[in-house]
Structure 1
Amino acid sequence: MENINTPQLGPLLQRQRKSRNLTLAQLSAVSGVSKSMLSQIERGQANPTFAVVWNLTRALKIDFADLLEGGTAPVEPSPIEIQSTAHTPEIRSDDGRCRLRILSPARMAGSTEWYEVEIQPGGILDSAPHAPGAFEHFTALTSGFEIASGGTTKDMKSGETARYPADVPHHIANKSAKIARGMLMLVYR
């Protein structure tokens, strides 16, 4: 079997940071990645997770693919940020019946998050309580959803929006025989 070398992300990230005249502290502040972790990554002493690399590429305003290719041209600043479908992260339930596409920027995690939700027939997106005061707003784009929160259950029709506490056990279920789609916003207080 051919030995494939993994990309050395540390020097590539360091080159990108320095080309923008950013200190480790400045990049840490805009990316949410600790200064010590950044230093370890740049020196090749830590292997960053995908989430860490994602936050760094967003903070440096470069595409993930450009980082791997060693590109050094920064993305021109624009008041409009476009997130391609290929670069939109998604979460799948263990059984594969629920898919959430993360539409909110990584920098907003823990304050306001929004998702495109797709649930297969019979699928249930079961959630443990979020932080105290968390609240969800779910808009059904198709019929067949059931929302449960705090011991109360409600059925939804296409176009309806449910608002409910998310700091208690809750779920979104597809009770229909078709794929169900909706939009979910999670707000932390």
Structure 2
Amino acid sequence: MQDKKSEISNNAASQRPRRRRRAPSTASDPAHLQFSRRLRVLRRQRGWSLEDLAAASAVSRSMLSEIERGNANPTLAVACRIAAAFGLSVGQLVDGGAASPIEVVRAGDPAHLYRSDEQCRIRTLSPLHLEKQVEFYEVTLRPEGALRSAPHYAGTREFLTVVRGKVGVESGEHRAELAAGDSAHYRADLPHAIVNLAAEEAVVFLVVSYPGGTA
């Protein structure tokens, strides 16, 4: 009788559903989080949607969304395709300079080229890997080119210094002309523009200051 009870007990134990082991979380992996943050910021800096990045990288939109939210850890092959879409190596994409108190933006870093067309060329000089309230740009205006912008968030201001050339600044209905060495600050929650008034390139440094953490 005892042997039969033992056999029944052993059979019951063997038939109990085994508890599945929970997959290890990637949330505490600093490298994974750094990749996710930098990917999100780089994509936004380029003005790309997830669909745009999916087309450029041959990685599905759903996978990119999971990676950006920190829910998926990309394989090396996927990371390489994503980095290549930005013209970077995986190391360049991941390296946000967090290991050093000094972060350098190199002149030839393609990740910092925000825009380049017949009107202007814009380089982002502020850190790409940080969510920030302040953005810093170098703007090169083509001869008689212009950078025209729709209103930003209420309370946004822009600060500008002319390095070379002669430019006009517009904010709503107001206008001002600036030469090399001049600076101005103005409301950027109105339609605004920086216009090259000469037949040669103009270079300005531009700081955009957002209210509260809306950048």
TM-score scaled to structure 2, two decimals?
Answer: 0.58
Alpha-carbon offset, residue 23 of structure 1: 2.8
* 1:65 and 2:89 correspond: yes
Q: 1:35-87, CA deviations, whole angstroms, 9 ceiling, x for partnerless residues?
A: 9434345269x88866xx98xxxxxxxxx42538xxxxxx8932222222232
SS in 2 for 1:148: strand
Alpha-carbon offset, residue 92 of structure 1: 2.6
Decide whether aligned partners of structure 1 residues 128 and 76 sit closer, same or farther in structure 2, where only a CA change above 3 A counts. closer
Query: Unpaired runs of 5+ in structure 1?
Result: 1-17, 55-63, 69-74
Alpha-carbon offset, residue 26 of structure 1: 7.6
Q: What percentage of aligned pairs have identical amino acids?
A: 29
Which residue is equivalent to 1:167? 189
Decide whether aligned partners of structure 1 residues 109 and 24 sit closer, same or farther in structure 2, where only a CA change above 3 A counts. closer
CA contact (8 A) 1:24 1:39 kept: no
Give the total of aligned pairs: 153
Q: 1:136-189, CA deviations, whole angstroms, 9 ceiling, x for partnerless residues?
A: 001011231000001101111111111000011000000111110110000001
Which residue is equivalent to 2:205? 183
Which residue is equivalent to 1:90? 113
Query: Unpaired runs of 5+ in structure 2?
Result: 1-25, 41-63
Decide whether aligned partners of structure 1 residues 40 and 27 sit closer, same or farther in structure 2, where only a CA change above 3 A counts. closer
CA contact (8 A) 2:165 2:200 kept: no
* 1:132 and 2:138 correspond: no
SS in 2 for 1:67: helix
Which residue is equivalent to 1:114? 136
Question: Over aligned residue pairs, what C-alpha RMSD do you find?
Answer: 3.8
TM-score scaled to structure 1, two decimals?
Answer: 0.65
Which has more radius of gyration?
A: 2
Moved over 6 A (4+): none
C-alpha distance in structure 1 between counterparts of 2:176 and 2:187, whole Å? 13
CA contact (8 A) 2:133 2:209 kept: yes
Question: 1:50-61 alignment to 2 at 5 Å?
Answer: none
C-alpha distance in structure 2 between counterparts of 1:23 and 1:84, whole Å? 28
CA contact (8 A) 1:140 1:158 kept: yes
* 1:105 and 2:111 correspond: no
CA contact (8 A) 1:24 1:35 kept: no
